Amino acid sequence: MPEAPEVQTVLSTLEHQIKGVKILKAKIYHEKLSANMEAETMCKSLKGQSIESFFRIGKYLGFETQDYDWICHLRMEGKFYLMDAIPEPKDKHIHAIFTLADGRYLCYHDTRKFGRMYLYPKTQDKASLPCFQKIGKDYLEMSGHELYEKTRKIKREIKFVLLDQSIMAGIGNIYADEILFASRLDPRTPANHLDEHDCDEIVAQTKRILQGATRAGGTTIRSYTSSLGVSGRFQLELKAHKQEGKECPICKGTIEKIKVNQRSTYLCPHCQKRK
């Protein structure tokens, strides 16, 4: 699933390409893609709207038009592509086509059909929109103290907590491993065993790693590719995730693979301490 850096890469690419462009026509072919209204209603609402600005909260990307906040969650396989022409016959995995005033087509492609779109009347307070009511603060807005307050009564593993989007939004499996490696914490550590210093370190490493990954374009592990064929390069910097059997860059020991909450997890058992 695209994590915050991948979503930001998509967003930045699209912002560069289609900011200010008007939508002449919208067509949604998979009814469930339109999550909070009928697909036909969403298409009619977007017709004639110009895309004025872009925003991201966690793993959600947002387009702001004159009248609406248009939100998309890419889930596992969702991608946006810009095309000069729609191939005939249409690719069966293209589930929405937005005809743009400059002659191009913004196409939403999703092989697994898990992605969802939401449309709301425009508001300044994006976090108040209904689709974000169970989403915590974006990682860029989180402080160590806030993370400590949210987790000091949680007995679940810290790896599980980092993946919980209701606590801090934007982190997925890849970056959780990297954050905990950089923080020198065993992913099986109960969250309520962490002190405020540990939470400060987790938040600092989260911002450092995810912002670095954003500058590098995210990762290409699994099938992630951003719009216009821009692929991530952060996989070249991974220290723990998918490094099973390789030498730890810190202690020269061996990176191991375990399961935490049914998720494949990578760690250095020497460097990462369980509290």
Question: Could you confirm whether 44 is annotated as catalytic?
Answer: no
Q: What percent of the chain has pLDDT over 90?
A: 79
- Of 77-81, 113-117, 235-239, which range is least confident? 235-239
Residues 47 and 83 reside in one and the same domain? yes
Residues 102 and 143 reside in one and the same domain? no
Name the average pLDDT for the chain.
92
Q: What percent of the chain has pLDDT over 70?
A: 92
Residue length of the chain = 275
201 falls within a domain: yes
272 falls within a domain: no
Q: How far is 13 from 7, CA to CA, in rounded Å? A: 10
Residues 127 and 142 reside in one and the same domain? no
3-state helix, strand, coil in the chain (%, to 5): 35, 25, 40
Catalytic residue among 2, 6, 157, 159: 2
Residues 161 and 217 reside in one and the same domain? yes
Residue 237 pLDDT level (bands cut at 50, 70, 90): confident
| 154-194: pLDDT as tens digits | 999 999 999 999 999 999 999 999 999 999 999 999 999 99
Q: Looking at residue 182, which CATH number applies to its domain?
A: 1.10.8.50
Domain hosting residue 75, numbered range: 4-132
Residues 69 and 20 reside in one and the same domain? yes
Confidence (pTM)? 0.89
Number of helices followed by number of strands (H, E) in the chain: 6, 12
The four Cα atoms 93, 62, 65, 90 give a dihedral, to 10 degrees, of -10
Q: Which of 73, 103, 132 is the last residue of a domain?
A: 132
Rounded to a whole number of angstroms, the CA Rg of the chain reads 20
Q: How far is 188 from 245, CA to CA, in rounded Å? A: 19
Identify the pLDDT of residue 222. 46
Catalytic residue among 56, 59, 150, 239: 59
Q: Is the pLDDT of residue 116 over 90?
A: yes
Q: Is the pLDDT of residue 20 over 60?
A: yes
Q: Which residue has the higher pLDDT, 165 or 10?
A: 165
Residues 114 and 167 reside in one and the same domain? no
Q: Is the pLDDT of residue 2 over 50?
A: yes
Residues 187 and 261 reside in one and the same domain? yes
Catalytic residue among 263, 269, 274, 275: 263
Identify the pLDDT of residue 228. 53
Residues 47 and 151 reside in one and the same domain? no
Question: Could you confirm whether 244 is annotated as catalytic?
Answer: no
Q: Looking at residue 29, which CATH number applies to its domain?
A: 3.20.190.10
State mean pLDDT over 196-213. Answer: 96
| 138-154: pLDDT as tens digits | 999 999 999 999 999 99
Residues 126 and 220 reside in one and the same domain? no
Identify the pLDDT of residue 231. 43
250 falls within a domain: yes
274 falls within a domain: no
Residue 218 pLDDT level (bands cut at 50, 70, 90): low
275 falls within a domain: no
273 falls within a domain: no
Residues 106 and 205 reside in one and the same domain? no
Question: Could you confirm whether 59 is annotated as catalytic?
Answer: yes
| 22-45: pLDDT as tens digits | 999 999 999 999 999 999 999 999
Closest by CA to 84, choosing from 106, 55, 67, 62, is 106
Residues 155 and 180 reside in one and the same domain? yes
Question: Could you confirm whether 2 is annotated as catalytic?
Answer: yes
25 falls within a domain: yes
Residues 23 and 125 reside in one and the same domain? yes
Q: Which of 71, 101, 132 is the last residue of a domain?
A: 132
String of DSSP letters for 185-202: B-TTSBGGG--HHHHHHH
Domain count for the chain, please give it: 2
34 falls within a domain: yes
Q: Which of 132, 158, 183 is the last residue of a domain?
A: 132
Residue 233 pLDDT level (bands cut at 50, 70, 90): very low
